[in-house]
Amino acid sequence: MPLKIVRNDITKMTTEAIVNTANEYPAVGTGCDRAVYDAAGLDDLLSYRKEHIGTVKEGDVFITPGFSLPAKYIIHAVSPLYIDGKRSEEEKLRSCYQKSLALAAENGIRSIAFPLISTGGFGYPKEQGIRIAVDEINGFLLNHEMLVFLVVFDEKASQMGKNLYPDLEAYIDRNYVQKKHEEEYREAFFTDEVAADEAPKPYDVEAARLEQARAARRRNARFPEERELKAKNLCVGSVPAPGVGMAPPLASKKKMSLEDEDAAIEELDRNLQERINHRSDSFSEYLLYLISSKGMKNSEVYDRAIVKKRVFSKIKTNPNYHPQKLTALCLCIGAKLNLDESRDLLSRAGYALSPCDKTDIIFSYFIEKEIYDMVEVDIQLEEYGLPCVIA
């Protein structure tokens, strides 16, 4: 799930948890801290802090109930006081985000809202604070499923976020947390067990993952320019680079002997009989059959497909489980299926490869050319403005 920038009051957010910029000692500060205490119930929250938490050093976090807030929990991040940038302020600020997200995950929290930690009364430069926040949150979301909001209070900060990260989804809407919107995102993401791993996402949510993938690439330098240039030769409708995914010319094929023809016919018969034997398989059963018939390991397939192990485990252990279409397409790449096998597998989950859908066309192209590399697929998805897989 992507990071969203929201212009709002942190105390009005209807996420499962909000983050507060806390003091080291059990005392109420100014700005965000004061607003959170007042909205939660000052006496209740302060008493809880004194009785159960006590003193906490800069960069560390702790969790409390939300009391009177719409959020169930408050994660308090003890924010660093900015002096000159040479006293580990950045390290402590990054720690606030890292530890807050880790604590949320430990407590099974699936949606959380952050303020711009330390950029108010603690004096951290706002532009640097936004960069650090987006960097740490996106880094966390590469390996975790959580709905994360970065809440900015003023128009200047929200505009700064859009300027720094123009492709990052930004909601400039003070009414976001009205009851109607609350019901929309809670129903969309958290209605059943499947939602935690593969929540059905509206298109705008998927599109925001583009920036997530780009940020990861810039930060980790995983995809050099040379590779991207090479990938551009693989665009749908273009001619592949020489030697890349191309079959040899027909004229160069040797004529089969009678023995070879007989062996080939027998192999076709065996394959046909195998398909007939598996005609009633579910998506899960047929995928596992294909993996086994190709002599592959499950881990090899889901790693190549960039599919999480827990999602693959659901497919493996539940014969009636149907993944999202994008997950199914990735598994076609992971299992190195040909076009017929891919169509057959997809149909068992109720999907088809559409000639009118850009994502389907790109996956079909790579499958047809036997280029089973999700990095190359992902680059092309990004080139065509489509949701990326590696995020």
Q: What is the pLDDT of residue 69?
A: 95
Q: Is 33 a catalytic residue?
A: yes
Write down the catalytic residue from 33, 38, 84, 360.
33
Q: What is the 3-state secondary structure (H, E, C) of 351-372?
A: CCCCCCCHHHHHHHHHHHCCCC
Q: What is the pLDDT of residue 186?
A: 42
Architecture of the 3-190 domain: 3-Layer(aba) Sandwich (3.40)
Residues making up the chain, counted from first to last: 391
**289 burial type by CB count under 10 A (0-12 exposed, 13-18 middle, 19+ buried):** middle
Q: What is the pLDDT of residues 145-192, one digit of tens each?
A: 899 999 886 555 545 555 544 444 444 344 333 433 344 334 433 333
Q: How many Cα atoms are found within 13 Å in the side-chain-facing hemisphere of 134?
A: 31
Nearest to 305 by CA among 345, 276, 255: 345
Q: What is the pLDDT of residue 291?
A: 94
> Any idea what DSSP says for residue 74?
E
Domain boundaries defined on the chain: 3-190, 229-242+273-383
Distance CA 158, CA 265 (A): 66
The low-confidence residues of the chain, meaning pLDDT below 70, are: 1-2, 153-258, 261-262, 269-279, 391
The tokens describing 317, both together, are 């252990």
Distance CA 132, CA 100 (A): 14
Residues 6+ apart with CB under 8 A from 194: 314
Q: What is the pLDDT of residue 276?
A: 65
Share of the chain above pLDDT 70, in %: 68
Nearest to 114 by CA among 202, 15, 215: 15
